[in-house]
């Protein structure tokens, strides 16, 4: 084979493989909208302080979160998910 014919096959092949890997990565990390609804009522733990935004661990996944009233919440505090708004889990402190 001539070098130009190898290049003509190799470059498009690498492009297709790259696209397939990207699609697979996005598919694996996708969070379905229905999954957000299932979070409501779940108990989690604050990973990074909510001040007003931070992160929580709920059902073994890390979520961006904020309290529904905008209060500061320290790390390691137990919270309950009460809603979803603008890609944030809205949480309240457990009593």
Tell me the pLDDT tens digit for each residue of 14-65. Answer: 889 999 998 887 777 655 555 567 889 999 999 999 998 999 999 999 999 9
CATH code for 33-93?
2.40.50.140
Element (H, E) at 20: helix 3-29
For the chain, the domains span 33-93
pTM of the model: 0.62
Helix (H, G, I), strand (E, B) or coil at 59: coil
Q: Quick one: CA dihedral 59, 39, 90, 92, positive or negative?
A: negative
């Amino acid at each position: 084979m001539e070098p130009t014919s190898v290049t003509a096959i190799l470059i498009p092949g690498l492009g297709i493989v790259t696209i397939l890997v990207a699609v697979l990565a996005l598919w694996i990390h996708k969070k379905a909208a229905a999954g957000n609804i299932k979070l409501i009522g779940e108990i989690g733990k604050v990973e990074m302080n909510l001040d007003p935004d931070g992160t929580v661990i709920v059902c073994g996944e890390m979520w961006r979160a904020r309290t529904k009233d905008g209060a500061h919440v320290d790390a390691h505090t137990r919270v309950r998910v009460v809603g979803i708004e603008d890609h944030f889990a809205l949480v309240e402190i457990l009593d």
